[in-house]
Amino acid sequence: MVNDLPGLLRERILILDGAMGTMLQQNGMNPGCCPELYGIEHEEVLFDIHKQYREAGADIIQTNTFGGSRFKLAEYGLADRVTEINAAAVSIARRAAAPHGLVAASIGPTGKLLRPMGDVTFDDLYAAFAEQMIACAQAGADLISIETMTDIGEMRAALIAAQQNTRLPVIAHMTFEDGGRTMTGTDPVTAVIIMEALQPLAIGANCSGGARELLPVIQEMSRHTRLCISVEPNAGLPFLVEGQTVFPDTPEEMAEYALRLKEAGANIIGGCCGTTPVHIQAIARALKGLAPSAKTAHTYPALASRSHYVMIGSDQPLAFIGERINPTARKKLAQDIKDGHMQIVVDEARKQVECGAPVLDVNMGVPGIDEVQAMHKAVTMIQDALDIPIAIDSTNPEAVEEGLKNFVGRPLINSTTGEDKNLDIILPLAKKYGAAVLGLCIGDEGIPDRAEERLQVARKIYQRALEYGLRKEDIFIDCLVKTASAQQEQVMETIQAVKMVKEDLGVGTVLGVSNVSHGLPARDILNSAYLTMAWAAGLDLPIMNPFEERMMAANRAVAVLLNRDANSTKYIENYRDYKVDDKPKIRHPLCEKCNIPDLVSAEINITGTSGVSRSAETISESDDTTKEKIKQAILRGEKENISVLIEAALQEGQLKPLDIVNQAMIPGIEEAGEMYDKKRYFLPQLMMAAETMKRAFAIIKPLLTVEGQTNTGVIVLATVEGDIHDIGKNIVAVLLENYGFKVVDLGKDVPTAVILERAAQEDADIIGLSALMTTTMPRMQEIVDGVKERGLRARVMVGGAVLNQEYADQIGADAYSEDARSAVLTAQRLLGIFQ
């Protein structure tokens, strides 16, 4: 059956099993137990659960290994038993699924967050997933089911680990919150682009509320992929009735929604939290004999960051790659890279985004440096500061791979030539990391003169890429621009080559347009004319300088003329106030990451040779006050720069430490919070702002003590007894500390008595409680009652994925917060701050 999974999925809907945790609890597992260990110590209980699902109609049985990674097992002191526990679980599932059922190794999140939000690296996650997956594969699993991933970076590490260490088909499920994004800000389309590039068997979503909540997510995914789609909804959102967890969706309701999910494009349907064999039986009966819906999505070449994508094609908005992060002939930028500061690198990235660049080229080619380490730092600092796709530009394969590992998204590799030695190094990297790749029309004899010869090189690159397992939409071709000053007769050969590649291969096309004007005056005039010609020939993605207003104007005009600016909307927005005698203006979209105003002036230097206007070079370098600079540094998450700004402000002596806090730092973190509330920031940006605030506060805090400044309030935080989840609580702690609260974090799985005793010792203003498991929610009631019995003055604030305002009211809690940002606002409200 496993050998023909793709064929089966074209013929009928396959049924996954349902919940495991709640089933184990119903069969005697106590809160706080390790489910994976309990399953192998109570083998017949686990076997019976699997068997019930199989008899209910599940085609695929998922192993009891959701928390079987080294990181998760370490929380129970079981890190040295990864192979044993996973292998035993696969063996039990294999026996229950026999003779015809499939066994999927269930791989859940590690409970860790990638830097800078957390403390683990890509390599850490990759190693943990590889270890678990190898154990499952060797024990006889038929496929891998990655589940409940809240961060696309962690999903990416899991998918790469699966592809590199096993030969098993993979189903990849993300988990989405109420707003249609993951906890770290990824929307369904961006998730599709990143996951699909790693070529799993199926992609989809699980948990995320009930089927009605997941339906729009699956519909959106289906519009953008031709891969099979898998979905595992909860049996609704849980609540407590007389201390017992109740999932509201009946088997009949889930069966009805299963039909709607099938129509939306799902090929594999099962259940998550709260579903039972009865639910799965109802779903299986409803879908019996039904063929999957046809896959009709039209896919495009696309690049993506963690929470933003750029689609590239003739009926998509025009896109280009900003070329400014390249140290060639730029001494200050080269020195910044050599010194390892990367502040000018980040500034250049930010300025290009402000001017409308949708993708950034990142080149660290400074002689004599460790380019691998430089690429690592540049990529991480750029993606920490900005949410934008990148092109990793290097001739050093190790530097390319370092960039690929550390960029959370789908980047472009810039580049490979048509020479075998380069293709054999770069193409496997693109396949491994799900990157797009740019092929230069350079053969063994260099750059061919004639367009037909360049097409031959492009054909070779294209064919070799397919042989390595890349898809058509992964391939871009650069036909290479020669300079009009030295090879004028070659200029139009490039335009012809672009046209031929587009017609013959149909892949994405790239050109470094500005090369055409090298050595000539008024370069921006030539550049913009050539750019317009290239667009007409089929160019998809020019590499260009977004500070050149003539080229930006050419892009806007071309978008109208090629019908890629509907109703000329963006053109009108940019030129509605245009007058012939006005200075030209660069009008760009509001940079949501930086809150930069959408209109800046740029004088065009038509007599210079650089093609870059003087004022465009200094965009955002206005005479901001010291306070504004500190505020913007916090808002933008400039961790490397904030210490310098704070020290300078203190040395100047014009601002008191308390003024810096109240008039610069707090407004910065407040605005970051407001951006988060408006969905213009996501968790990574909010955490970067908080970390920057933390660095600033570390310098200011000793001086505030001298001034007599006290804490805003004391908050005791804990994950309640029996619950070992603490990611959300840890994020809350970071934000609260940066708003001036003294946070006493007791950790996870904390007994009620310990929480109450510590709250009394600290004379806490607030007790903040977290729970992710419905079975541990009753501990919160105990703590609320204990506060009253002891006569403590602390208010109780509760939160967690399984909680809501209704439950908080039911147990008598003083407040409920749905996420880290609302926890800060709620704490301030409880203490009467900033009313």
* Confidence band for 820, pLDDT divided at 50, 70 and 90: confident
- Condensed to tens digits (0 to 9), the pLDDT of residues 147-198 reads 999 999 999 999 999 999 999 999 999 999 888 999 999 999 999 999 999 9
More confident residue, 581 or 728: 728
pLDDT, averaged across the chain: 90
- What is the largest distance, in Å, between two alpha-carbon atoms of the chain? 90
Mean pLDDT to the nearest integer, 3-28: 91
Residue type, 807: Y
Q: What is the pLDDT of residue 138?
A: 98
Q: Which residue has the higher pLDDT, 657 or 15?
A: 15
Lowest mean pLDDT among 206-215, 361-370, 455-464: 206-215
Q: What's the pLDDT score for residue 706? A: 53
- Predicted confidence at residue 748, as pLDDT, reads 87
**DSSP annotation string for 237-280:** --EEETTEEE----HHHHHHHHHHHHHHTEEEE---TT--HHHH
pLDDT at 525 over 60: yes
What is the torsion angle, in degrees rounded to the nearest 10, for the CA atoms of residue 238, residue 240, residue 244 and residue 249?
Answer: -30
Categorize the per-residue pLDDT at 582 as very low, low, confident or very high, splitting at 50, 70 and 90. Answer: low
Between 777 and 214, name the one with better pLDDT: 214
115 has a pLDDT exceeding 50: yes
702 pLDDT above the threshold of 90: no
Least confident of 133-137, 447-451, 471-475, 646-650: 646-650
Is residue 812 predicted with pLDDT exceeding 50? yes
Average pLDDT over residues 508-526: 95
Tokens of 605: 């230097």
- Binding-site residue ranges for Zn(2+): 207, 272-273
User: Can you tell me the mean pLDDT for 600-604?
Assistant: 29
Question: For position 336, what pLDDT does the model report?
Answer: 96
pLDDT level of residue 597 (50, 70, 90 thresholds): very low
Where does the pLDDT of residue 722 fall: very low under 50, low under 70, confident under 90, or very high at 90 and above? confident
pLDDT band at 703 (very low <50, low <70, confident <90, very high): confident
Strands 599-601 and 508-512: unpaired
pLDDT tens track for 305-364: 999 999 999 889 999 999 999 999 899 999 999 999 999 999 999 999 999 999 999 999
Binding residues: 207, 272-273
- Which among 68, 299, 323 is positioned nearest to 189, based on CA atoms? 299
pLDDT band at 50 (very low <50, low <70, confident <90, very high): very high
Confidence class for position 43, pLDDT limits 50, 70, 90? very high
Q: What would the pLDDT profile of 391-405 be if each residue is shown by its tens digit? A: 999 999 999 999 999
Start-end of H helices in 562-682: 569-575, 614-617, 626-636, 639-652, 657-660, 666-677
Q: Is the pLDDT of residue 698 over 80?
A: yes
Q: Tell me: the pLDDT tens digits for 418-446?
A: 999 999 999 999 999 999 999 999 999 89
- pLDDT reported for residue 557: 96
pLDDT in tens, 232-278: 999 998 777 776 778 899 999 999 999 999 999 999 999 999 999 99
Question: Looking at per-residue confidence, does 255 or 806 come out higher?
Answer: 255
Question: What average pLDDT score do residues 795-815 get?
Answer: 89
Of 214-218, 531-535, 738-742, minimum mean pLDDT range:
738-742
Length of the chain: 835
Quote the tokens at residue 285: 């009966």
**Picking from 184-193, 410-419, 820-829, which range would have the lowest pLDDT averaged per residue?**
820-829
Quickly state the pLDDT bin for 485 (edges 50, 70, 90).
very high
- Give the chain's domains with CATH numbers: 2-287 (3.20.20.330), 302-315+406-617 (3.20.20.20), 623-709 (1.10.1240.10), 710-835 (3.40.50.280)
Residues 35-40 have a mean pLDDT of: 97
**Does residue 426 sit in helix, strand or coil?**
helix
Percent of the chain with pLDDT over 90: 71
- Could you tell me whether strands 599-601 and 713-719 are parallel, antiparallel, or unpaired per DSSP bridges? unpaired
- In this predicted structure, the answer to whether residue 555 has a pLDDT above a threshold of 50 is yes
How many Cβ atoms from other residues are within 10 Å of residue 341's Cβ? 15
pLDDT of res. 2: 64
- pLDDT average, residue stretch 634-657: 87
